[in-house]
Amino acid sequence: MTNSWLHLTVHAAPENLDALSNFLIERGAPGVVVKERGVEAYFFRGHDDAQIKRAVARYVRDVQSSARRRARPRMSWRVVRRENWHDHWRRFIKPRRIGKRFWVTPPWARAPKFRSRQVITIEPGLAFGTGTHATTRGCMEFIEQAVAGFGGSQFTALDVGTGSGILAIAMAQLGAREVWAIDHDPVALEVARENLRANDVLEKVRLSDVKLSAIRRKFPLVVANLTAETLSMLAVALKKKVEPAGFLILAGILRRQASPVMRRFSAEFRVERRKSRGEWVTLLLRRKGRSRESLNGLGSDLLSPRRKAAKFRD
- Maximum pairwise Cα distance, the chain: 63
Residues 222, 248: contact at Cβ < 8 Å?
A: yes
Domains 4-89 and 96-309 share a fold: no
pTM above 0.75, yes or no: no
Given this model, what pLDDT does residue 308 score? Answer: 30
pLDDT one-digit tens code per residue, 92-149: 677 889 999 999 998 888 888 888 899 999 876 554 556 667 889 999 999 999 999 9
Lowest mean pLDDT among 11-20, 156-165, 201-210: 11-20
pLDDT one-digit tens code per residue, 48-103: 889 889 999 988 888 767 655 555 678 899 887 655 555 555 666 778 899 999 99
Residues 222, 158: contact at Cβ < 8 Å?
A: yes
Topology of domain 4-89, per CATH? Alpha-Beta Plaits (3.30.70)
**Is pLDDT of 186 > 90?**
no
User: How many beta carbons lie within 10 A of that of residue 243, not counting itself?
Assistant: 19
Closest listed residue to residue 63, CA positions, set 216, 214, 229: 229
How far is Cα 139 from Cα 79, in angstroms, rounded to an integer? 36
User: How many beta carbons lie within 10 A of that of residue 271, not counting itself?
Assistant: 14
DSSP 304: S
For the ranges 27-31, 32-36, 65-69, 278-282, the maximum mean pLDDT occurs at 278-282
How far is Cα 144 from Cα 157, in angstroms, rounded to an integer? 13
Closest listed residue to residue 165, CA positions, set 145, 134, 141, 187: 187
Residues 238, 208: contact at Cβ < 8 Å?
A: no
Residues 181, 174: contact at Cβ < 8 Å?
A: no
Task: Report the chain's terminal Cα–Cα distance, integer Å.
Answer: 37
User: What are the residue boundaries of the structural domains of the chain, listed by start?
Assistant: 4-89, 96-309
pLDDT band at residue 30 using 50, 70 and 90 as cut-offs: low
Architecture of domain 96-309: 3-Layer(aba) Sandwich (3.40)
